[in-house]
Chain A
Amino acid sequence: GAVVSQHPSWVICKSGTSVKIECRSLDFQATTMFWYRQFPKQSLMLMATSNEGSKATYEQGVEKDKFLINHASLTLSTLTVTSAHPEDSSFYICSARVGDSNQPQHFGDGTRLSIL
């Protein structure tokens, strides 16, 4: 149980385009999902907390107009990287929590984004 699916697993696109990444909880409902970014040889960095039916909470330094997060249902959150540039190239990972706030997070397999 507690499977989180992320799509696509990798994407290559041209500079200036927008890219949408989907995060789905397959066998449970997730009121809260999280988005992380990871650069090579670095740890995960929390970008934002996504709550179903409300606006996402962004971490300091993360541009909310650049990284649009929508959590329209209890099983789906999306991250859209708008007007992507090469410096946005990274490994993006989502996670979701099952049950109460003390329960662990379960992570997707990540999306590797490369902007040319």
Chain B
Amino acid sequence: DAKTTQPPSMDCAEGRAANLPCNHSTISGNEYVYWYRQIHSQGPQYIIHGLKNNETNEMASLIITEDRKSSTLILPHATLRDTAVYYCIVRVADTGGFKTIFGAGTRLFVKA
């Protein structure tokens, strides 16, 4: 089972910041938080990942709380093309390594 919980859907106005929350209360100290998104009928796209410090790249920013039990993905200026399902993932430990298990994600609708 996925180790994260996310709201099923969110709306955002075009040009505004989209803030997508994720809870991962059982995360251990050395596990990363990964964010991917999936636009309809395509493979998932990697967005960003982090351990404890906030991270920023050309796509988004990732804010991780100090206790690491939750995080927020920020798309600073959402566009219509950002409409997608966003997945927050903490990997599951397994014999021989880690597995990336996808939950239901958050369906983000960016509206004009």
Chain B residues with CB under 8 Å of chain A are 32, 34, 36, 38, 41-46, 49, 87, 96-105
Count of A interface residues, CB-CB < 8 Å: 25
Majority SS at the chain B contact face: loop
Chain A residues with CB under 8 Å of chain B are 2, 4, 6, 32, 34, 36, 43-46, 49, 57, 91, 93, 95, 101-102, 104-110, 112
Contact A109–B43 (Cβ < 8 Å): yes
A46-B101, A49-B97 given; A105·B42 CB < 8 A: no
Contact A46–B100 (Cβ < 8 Å): yes
Majority SS at the chain A contact face: strand
Q: CA–CA, A57 to B102, complex, Å?
A: 18
Q: CA–CA, A104 to B49, complex, Å?
A: 7
Contact A105–B100 (Cβ < 8 Å): yes
